[in-house]
Amino acid sequence: MFAKVFLSALVAGAAFVRADPNPTEPGPGDVFNEGSNCRIVWEPDTTGVWKVMNIELMSGSNFQMNHITTVATVDATDAAQTVFEYPCPEVTPNSAIYFYQFTSPASSAIYWTTRFTIADASGKTTTPANPTQPDGQAIPWGGHW
């Protein structure tokens, strides 16, 4: 009896689980040099909604994000294609202030990677301009100029 109730509850709960794309790379501490390959990895969307997913390079605070460029538009439902690499752009400043934003015209959900560093071609970086977010969270940030 208990197993039957447990299984029914498990199946009912699974009906409410969403499986939109989940960004997994880059992660904290990742550093990419300008001109080398920047790598982006995500878990695929199993709902079938994210057939068009925009990947945008961003900077700024958690509350005022700045769009730098749209890196790619991919089919996030394709489980065989969950990695995208491209030549890292030249940016200023070269710091740990960059992140990717994932959006789809078919969904109101927005997903982000953690912040990562784009260093200059020789690997040099600067300290982020702001050590904490406007709300006090210890997440360094800065803007792209």
The pLDDT, as a whole number, for residue 80 is 97
**Domains of the chain: residue spans and CATH:** 19-119 (2.60.40.10)
Beta strands 31-33 and 117-119 are parallel
Measuring CA to CA, which residue among 116, 112, 67 is closest to residue 95? 116
Overall pTM > 0.75? yes
Cα–Cα distance, 140 to 112 (Å, whole number): 15
Tokens of 106: 């078919």
Calpha distance 22→42 (Å, rounded): 5
For residues 33 and 124, what is the distance between their CA atoms, to the nearest angstrom? 8
Tens digits of residue pLDDT in 57-70: 999 999 999 999 99
Ranges of the chain whose pLDDT falls below 70 = 1-18, 144-145
Buried b (16+ CB within 10 A) or exposed e, 20-30: bbebebbeeeb
**According to the model, what pLDDT value does residue 17 have?**
56
Q: What is the pLDDT of residue 19?
A: 83
pLDDT given at position 143? 81
Cα–Cα distance for residue pair 45/54, rounded to 1 Å: 13
| pLDDT, position 2 | 45
Phi, psi of 66 (to 5 degrees): -115, 125
Tell which residue, 136, 41, 128, has the closest CA to residue 82.
Answer: 41
Read off the pLDDT of residues 86-98 as tens digits, 9 standing for 90 and up. 999 999 999 999 9
